[in-house]
C-alpha cells in the first residue's frame, strides 16, 4: 500500500448514487495513512450518512456553512487552509456548474473558492447530462483554471442508460491522488511547442473550409507537459477551448499562419508536437467580397498548403525532437509508418477516426510508432491519455 502519511485531504461528497463508492475511497485513503476530513452536501446526506463517514474517516463530518459551532473558528476557512488537496467525489453536474461561476452558497463550494490547494473532481451523472454542451463547457472552463478531472468512466449507469458519466472506481481515484503527491516537476527546463485544433481556409469574407478537429487532444498534451514543469507554447487554431495561464498560447487561423508560427517556435524548443489537423489545401484566389449564389455549380481551385510537421522535421539547424499525428480511416499502421519515414519524424501517434469517432469526443486511443519500436496506448479520457503520451515522448527523447 502506498504511504500518504499525513497528507491532508478534504473529501467533498455531493448528491448522487455514486456517493456510496466514496466510502471505499475514504477507507483506502485512511489505510494509506492520509488524514481525511469529509464535507457532505445536504443532497449527499440522502445517500450516505454522516455517522458512517465519521466512523470511516475518523473525523467529524462537516455539513453546514452556517453551523455556529464550526464558524466560531471560521470552519470553512480553516478547512480551506488545512487541505493539501480538495477532492469532490462524486462531483455532480450541479456542483460543477456552481464552481464554474464561482458560487459560494454552501460549505463545499465556499471551501473550493477559499482554498489554494489543488482541486480534483470525479464527475458522476447521467450520460445525457454529461454530454450536454453546457456541462462540457463548464468542465473545460474548470480545467483551464487548473482544476483536475478524474474520469468519468463509461458503462452501465444506475438509471439503466449506458455511456460516459460513471464515477471512476475508488481505486482509480486513489491512484490519481497518489500520482499527484508523487509526481515531480521533472520537466523543468524542457521547452515544448504544440499545434492543436483545425485551420480555416477562407473562401470569401464569410465562408471557409475546415475540418472536425476540436483541439481537445492537443490542449490535453499541453496541460500534461505544463503540469510536469515544462515551458509550453501552444499554437492553436480556432477552437472553443481555454488553456491554463502558465501555457503560452498563440492563436492562428489559417494553415499558412500556423506554418509560419510553428517554424518560428520550433527552433526555440526542444520538442515539437504537430497535433493540429491542418488543412492540406487552401483556396487559390480568396474573393474580396461575399460570393453570391447564382449558378447551379461553383468550382473552387485549391492549392497545396505547406507541410508544417515535415518542414519542422527537416530543419537543419536547431531541429527539435519532432512528433506527428496521423488521423486515418483505413490501414492506420501502414500509413502512419510511411509518414514517420517520409516526413523524417522521431515519433508518430496514429489514431483511427473512421466513422467520425475521436473528433470532438473526450476519449481516444493512440498507437505510437518510432524507428524500430511501437506501443499502443489504450482508450482513455484525453487527459489521462495525454499524461501517458508525455511519458512515452520523454522516454524516447531522453534516449
Task: State yes or no: 216 annotated in a binding site.
Answer: no
Task: State yes or no: 309 annotated in a binding site.
Answer: yes
Cβ contact 314:339 at 8 Å: no
Task: State yes or no: 311 annotated in a binding site.
Answer: no
Task: State yes or no: 395 annotated in a binding site.
Answer: no
Q: Which residues pair with 374 in a beta bridge?
A: 369
Residue 180: which residues within 8 A CB-CB, separation 6 or more?
A: 85, 118, 120, 148
> In angstroms, what CA-CA distances link 229 with 157, 225, 246?
37, 7, 10
The 8-class DSSP code of residue 243 comes to -
Other CB atoms closer than 10 Å to residue 190's CB: what's the count? 17
Annotated active-site residue in 112, 159, 178, 349:
159
Measured CA to CA, the distance from residue 371 to residue 393 in angstroms comes to: 13
Helices (H), 9-82: 19-31, 50-57, 68-71, 75-82
Cell 479520457 belongs to 381
Task: State yes or no: 280 annotated in a binding site.
Answer: yes
The question of whether 349 is a catalytic residue gets the answer: no
Pick the closest to residue 208 from 155, 281, 142 (CA basis).
281
The cell numbers describing 231, all together, are 515551458
SS3 labels along 70-111:
HHCCCHHHHHHHHCCEEEEEEECHHHHHHHHCCCCCCHHHHH
Task: State yes or no: 276 annotated in a binding site.
Answer: yes
What's the distance, CA 386 to chain centroid? 8
Task: State yes or no: 338 annotated in a binding site.
Answer: no
φ and ψ at residue 306, rounded to 5 degrees:
-65, 150
**Mapping DSSP to helix (H, G, I), strand (E, B) and coil, where does residue 376 land?**
strand
Task: State yes or no: 307 annotated in a binding site.
Answer: yes
Task: State yes or no: 16 annotated in a binding site.
Answer: no
Q: In the chain, what is the straight-line distance between the N-terminal and C-terminal CA atoms, in Å?
A: 32
Task: State yes or no: 290 annotated in a binding site.
Answer: yes
Task: State yes or no: 283 annotated in a binding site.
Answer: no
Measured CA to CA, the distance from residue 327 to residue 338 in angstroms comes to: 13
Known binding residues are 274-276, 280, 290, 306-309, 325, 339, 343
Known binding residues for CTP are 274-276, 280, 290, 306-309, 325, 339, 343
| Catalytic positions, written as ranges | 159
Amino acid at each position: 500500500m502506498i504511504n500518504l502519511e499525513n497528507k491532508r485531504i478534504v473529501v467533498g461528497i455531493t448528491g448522487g448514487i455514486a456517493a456510496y463508492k466514496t466510502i471505499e475511497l475514504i477507507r483506502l485513503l485512511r489505510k494509506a495513512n492520509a488524514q481525511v476530513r469529509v464535507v457532505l452536501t445536504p443532497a449527499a446526506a440522502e445517500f450516505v450518512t454522516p455517522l458512517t463517514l465519521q466512523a470511516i474517516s475518523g473525523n467529524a463530518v462537516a455539513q453546514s456553512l452556517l453551523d455556529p459551532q464550526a464558524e466560531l473558528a471560521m470552519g470553512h476557512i480553516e478547512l480551506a487552509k488545512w487541505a493539501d488537496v480538495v477532492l469532490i467525489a462524486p462531483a455532480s453536474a450541479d456542483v460543477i456548474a456552481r464552481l464554474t461561476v464561482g458560487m459560494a452558497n454552501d460549505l463545499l463550494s465556499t471551501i473550493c473558492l477559499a482554498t489554494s490547494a489543488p482541486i480534483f473532481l470525479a464527475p458522476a451523472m447521467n450520460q445525457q447530462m454529461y454530454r450536454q454542451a453546457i456541462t462540457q463547457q463548464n468542465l473545460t472552463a474548470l480545467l483551464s483554471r487548473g482544476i483536475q478531472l478524474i474520469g468519468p468512466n463509461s458503462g452501465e449507469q444506475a438509471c439503466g442508460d449506458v455511456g460516459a458519466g460513471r464515477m471512476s472506481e475508488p481505486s482509480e481515484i486513489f491512484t490519481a491522488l497518489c500520482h499527484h503527491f508523487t509526481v515531480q516537476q521533472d520537466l523543468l527546463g524542457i521547452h515544448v511547442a504544440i499545434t492543436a485544433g483545425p485551420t480555416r481556409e477562407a473562401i470569401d469574407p464569410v465562408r471557409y473550409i475546415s475540418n472536425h478537429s476540436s483541439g481537445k487532444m492537443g490542449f490535453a498534451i499541453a496541460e500534461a507537459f505544463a503540469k510536469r514543469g515544462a515551458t509550453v507554447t501552444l499554437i492553436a487554431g480556432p477552437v472553443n477551448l481555454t488553456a491554463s495561464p502558465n501555457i503560452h498560447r498563440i492563436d492562428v487561423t489559417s494553415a499558412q499562419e500556423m506554418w509560419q508560427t510553428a517554424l518560428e517556435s520550433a527552433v526555440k524548443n526542444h520538442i515539437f508536437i504537430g497535433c493540429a489537423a491542418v488543412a492540406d489545401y487552401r483556396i487559390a484566389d480568396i474573393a474580396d467580397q461575399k460570393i453570391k449564389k447564382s449558378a447551379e455549380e461553383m468550382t473552387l481551385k485549391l492549392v497545396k498548403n505547406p507541410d508544417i510537421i515535415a518542414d519542422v522535421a527537416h530543419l537543419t539547424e536547431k531541429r527539435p525532437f519532432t512528433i506527428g499525428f496521423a488521423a486515418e480511416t483505413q490501414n492506420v499502421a501502414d500509413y502512419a509508418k510511411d509518414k514517420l519515414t517520409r516526413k523524417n519524424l522521431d515519433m508518430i501517434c496514429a489514431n483511427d477516426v473512421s466513422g467520425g469517432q475521436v473528433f470532438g469526443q473526450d476519449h481516444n486511443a493512440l498507437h505510437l510508432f518510432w524507428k524500430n519500436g511501437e506501443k499502443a496506448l489504450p482508450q482513455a479520457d484525453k487527459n489521462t491519455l495525454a499524461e501517458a503520451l508525455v511519458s512515452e515522448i520523454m522516454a524516447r527523447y531522453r534516449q
